[in-house]
Structure 1
């Protein structure tokens, strides 16, 4: 799913890139800040306000953003969707 979201966000991953839970957006996937903006937009399109990526990033310091992994984002998305299900 994350590969599809990254593709839709225009991340332009190399076809040989393997995306796993430990993949770091900056170092491994070579995403720039503009790619993260596109990713945030795509997540909002897919999940609405249940998953607020901008709010998630705002709670991180710069080093945490640079070290952000696919797994941490997946955990955030899954947690927010689970909370929305319980609340809704």
Structure 2
């Protein structure tokens, strides 16, 4: 999903790792995160609620949000959904 977003911005050669920061490294803005939230919901439904995830973070955590932290959140949501 991130790769598709970056391709749209002409950043298709940008390396993405678990330590990559959305704001600092990818230079994504809040509207980009909204787009990502929509992509997550389209793929996994409401079981992966990005808005709820971000609401639980303080401003500094949002600014420093890394790909790995989002991956952990999504994986946890999917594990929970499988267990119910």
Equivalent of 1:62 in 39, 59, 63: 59
Q: Is the 8 A contact 1:51 1:77 kept in 2?
A: yes
Maintained 8 Å contact 2:6/2:12: no
Say how many residue pairs are matched: 83
Q: Tell me, which stretches of 5 or more residues in structure 2 are unaligned?
A: none
Q: What TM-score do you get using the length of structure 2 for normalisation?
A: 0.92
Q: What is the TM-score with the length of structure 1 in the denominator?
A: 0.88
The RMSD of aligned alpha carbons is 1.7
Mark the runs of 5 or more structure 1 residues left unpaired by the alignment.
none
1:51 to 33, 48, 51: 48
- Answer yes or no: is 1:41 the counterpart of 2:38: yes
Where do 4+ consecutive residues of structure 1 move more than 3 Å? 8-11
